[in-house]
């Protein structure tokens, strides 16, 4: 069963930019490159920091945590650079027209 929740319109997320939203009570960061949008958990797994307050690199599809510089793949949530060692959850994203919807977690089993 997959439940998608509409959380934003495409033009609310700058191309090459990001936006924090709440999905089913969890903070999620949306990352946009052109017509693609990726969604990962917005709280760093190292300490308490919001990844959407860091730097997004649309070419490498990664975001750098503002606090200690860990980097996460925005597609999978995987850690690319320490000090974080645990991935953040990633979510399915559906775009219909201008509406961006976020679905179930992809890597919940790793949490
Ligand atoms: S809080 Fe994100 S790297 Fe430390």
Ligand 1 pocket residue status of 67, Cβ below 6 Å: yes
Give the residue extent of every domain in the chain: 5-99
Q: What is this structure's pTM?
A: 0.93
Residue of 45, 55, 67 to mutate, ligand 1, most atoms within 8 A of C-beta: 67
Residue 32 pairs in a beta bridge with: 37
Ligand 1 pocket residue status of 66, Cβ below 6 Å: no
Alpha carbon distances (Å) from 87 to 6, 19, 67, 96: 24, 19, 16, 28
Dihedral angle, C-alpha 63, 92, 9, 56, nearest 10 °:
10
The pLDDT tens digits of the residues spanning 67-103 come to: 999 999 999 999 999 999 999 999 999 999 999 999 9
Q: How confident is the model at residue 106 (pLDDT cuts 50, 70, 90)?
A: confident
- Indicate which atom in ligand 1 lies nearest the CA of residue 70: 3
Domain 5-99: homologous superfamily in CATH: Rieske [2Fe-2S] iron-sulphur domain (2.102.10.10)
Ligand 1 pocket residue status of 49, Cβ below 6 Å: yes
Distance, CA of 109 to CA of 90 (rounded, Å): 11
Position 111 scores a pLDDT of: 38
Which residue, chain included where needed, has tokens 């700058």?
A: 14
Question: Mind spelling out the 3-state secondary structure of 53-87?
Answer: HCEEECCCCEEECCCCCCEEECCCCCEEECCCCCC
Joined together, the tokens standing for residue 78 give 């995987």
If you take atom 1 of ligand 1, which residue's CA is the nearest one? 47
The pLDDT tens digits of the residues spanning 18-40 come to: 999 999 899 999 999 999 999 99
Q: b vs e for 71-99, b when ≥16 Cβ sit within 10 Å of the residue's Cβ? A: bbbbbbbbbeeeebeebbbbbebeeeeee
């Amino acid at each position: 069963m997959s439940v998608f929740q509409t959380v934003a319109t495409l033009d609310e997320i700058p191309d090459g930019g990001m936006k924090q939203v709440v999905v089913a009570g969890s903070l999620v960061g949306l990352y946009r490159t052109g017509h693609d949008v990726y969604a990962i958990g917005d709280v760093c797994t190292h300490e308490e920091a919001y990844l959407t307050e860091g730097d997004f690199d649309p070419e490498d599809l990664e975001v750098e945590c503002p606090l200690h510089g860990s980097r996460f793949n925005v597609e999978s949530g995987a850690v690319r650079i320490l000090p974080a060692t645990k991935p953040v959850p990633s979510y399915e994203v559906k775009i219909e027209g201008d509406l961006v919807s976020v679905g179930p977690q992809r890597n919940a089993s790793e949490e």
